[in-house]
Structure 1
């Protein structure tokens, strides 16, 4: 299951194609896309992304009026209201007893059926714990987000998970009538929730999460925040994260945060790391190649212009500014290399 708005069509096509490319041809895959207004053209492009895979079925669904009314007037902050769709999956897909929910800003490198088959140990969901939360606990400065959630039921913040990759036991969620509790958390504690859907899931299902292997929700923060993390994470699913990065052995790469590789280029390390992954996958997505190539041309021109500007001004920079511009030039060269590799 995915939940998207129209602007996410490009990245979702890449995600779908990467999913299909690694799907077992001897199994059947049913993909549900919950949306709030995809156009006929959007839907056609997404269908093209899976057209070469007859064992993959694509379905589209809008939020039923009853569920939309439940979410009406709720403050979703910087998130789309469709972020709540994962909370309502048991109602949205009443004929299914288990699903895998994925955010659209992911690229898949292994058979997603491995997630579907995960042993949840009798828990209602499986997820990968949140590395930024773990990093803040290791540093001795728990995030404000955690301090807000503790009185709401998050007694052990080390169990806090990221909701971008979920295995949901819908039958158990229905049996426990969990959806009203999830909506109640959003209704009563909205101002205290930094990530409304994710925080609500963490509160309601706290200590009832089956940890998934970190390879199934890998993102740039594992590398950027690695100082002291690996030693502290010994014996957990985070052990060996540097090896995963060095060998590119992740099974799903998740481009969390606001620096998306298909948006305006950014002169940041996190943007570069996601770019190296996403553009390679994007250029292998047949349905979007013309659009992606135009976007790649635009980004390449922007990067070359930025590089020339900084190289021209380098001799006239001194001290701290000189070092900052040198660093920016190195990053721009790496970014240009990533775009040129994408073009190839």
Structure 2
């Protein structure tokens, strides 16, 4: 069976969240082999060795790619627009040419059901597959369409299935940088805005309730589904929970109902690390 290629990008402060994400991935995708890629800028060998050991325990391959500055010649890079914001969209040019398809996951996601059906999705000639968080955010969706001059839904960039070969042909880094330079005053969520402004016509829509469930909006999913998408439905059908927004479930006083589930996987990840450390002594 074909391995599944995963990509994430993060800095040192998100390493514990990556550990939790990988733990949830392993538990809920038994028998799957993953090739895990990590884009970073300055993580230490010690930081990376912890991720490598976890991947080794699961039988996953792991490749950390320190993104060099050369690619960003001419790119608008400021505190508001750090070069890291470009990483996921430039993945076709940063990953080895042997990698044909990748599933990008933000590190603040949790995998609670199999993801092979997403991996095997026919992209139908599109560069990306992504989900829009609609329903409660219909007004914001319309505002984003007007702001960015698009006709499609406003897609979330936290879960992206990418055809890397199509991306290598059609994503021009310099065009992307020029867009940021020309529209920098209009960009609110820069990487997400760029995805929608430049590539919305090349995105296959995904069902967010399955593949990019906004963990803040349980009541909205329940309402728009006519009561179908209750907690049991989510646990049985949703594959990727996304903890969007400033409030995060690993912080104190998290208000939303899936916080306890996230903390459960955090605890499992910690116990596993403790067992591995004892075994190595």
Question: What band does the TM-score fall into relative to the shorter chain?
Answer: 0.7 to 0.9
Distance 2:225 2:168 in 1: 37
Structure 2 unaligned regions, length at least 5: 1-6, 275-281
Q: Secondary structure, in 3 states, of the residue corresponding to 2:237?
A: coil
Distance 1:172 1:125 in 2: 9
Superposed displacement of residue 161, structure 1 = 1.1
Matched, 1:221 2:216: yes
Superposed displacement of residue 39, structure 1 = 2.2
- What are the superposed Cα offsets for residues 138-181 of structure 1, whole Å, 9 maximum, x if unpaired? xxxx23x853652543123xx21111000011111222244433
**Counterpart for residue 94 of structure 2:** 92
Distance 1:241 1:222, change over 3 A: farther
**Counterpart for residue 200 of structure 1:** 194
Distance 1:240 1:179, change over 3 A: farther
**Counterpart for residue 135 of structure 1:** 136
Counterpart of 1:110 (choices 87, 109, 113) is 113
> What TM-score comes out, normalization by structure 1 length?
0.69
Counterpart of 1:280 (choices 256, 264, 275) is 264
- What are the superposed Cα offsets for residues 82-118 of structure 1, whole Å, 9 maximum, x if unpaired? 2321111011114122111100011112333332211
**Counterpart for residue 255 of structure 2:** 269
Contact 1:3 1:83 in 2 (8 A): no
**Counterpart for residue 305 of structure 1:** none
Structure 1 unaligned regions, length at least 5: 232-238, 291-344
Distance 2:270 2:183 in 1: 44
The alignment's C-alpha RMSD in Å is 2.7
Aligned counterparts, 1:148-297, within 5 A: 149-150=145-146, 152-156=148-152, 159-214=153-208, 215-226=210-221, 229-230=224-225, 240-242=228-230, 247=235, 249-263=237-251, 265-266=252-253, 269-270=255-256, 273-286=257-270, 289=273
Counterpart of 1:66 (choices 52, 70, 79) is 70
Aligned residues: 266
Superposed displacement of residue 47, structure 1 = 2.0
Superposed displacement of residue 201, structure 1 = 0.5
Q: Which has the higher helix share?
A: 1
Superposed displacement of residue 17, structure 1 = 2.1
- Of structures 1 and 2, the one scoring higher in RCO (CA 8 A, sep 6+) is 2
Counterpart of 1:19 (choices 25, 32, 37) is 25
Q: Secondary structure, in 3 states, of the residue corresponding to 2:204?
A: strand
Distance 1:289 1:24, change over 3 A: closer
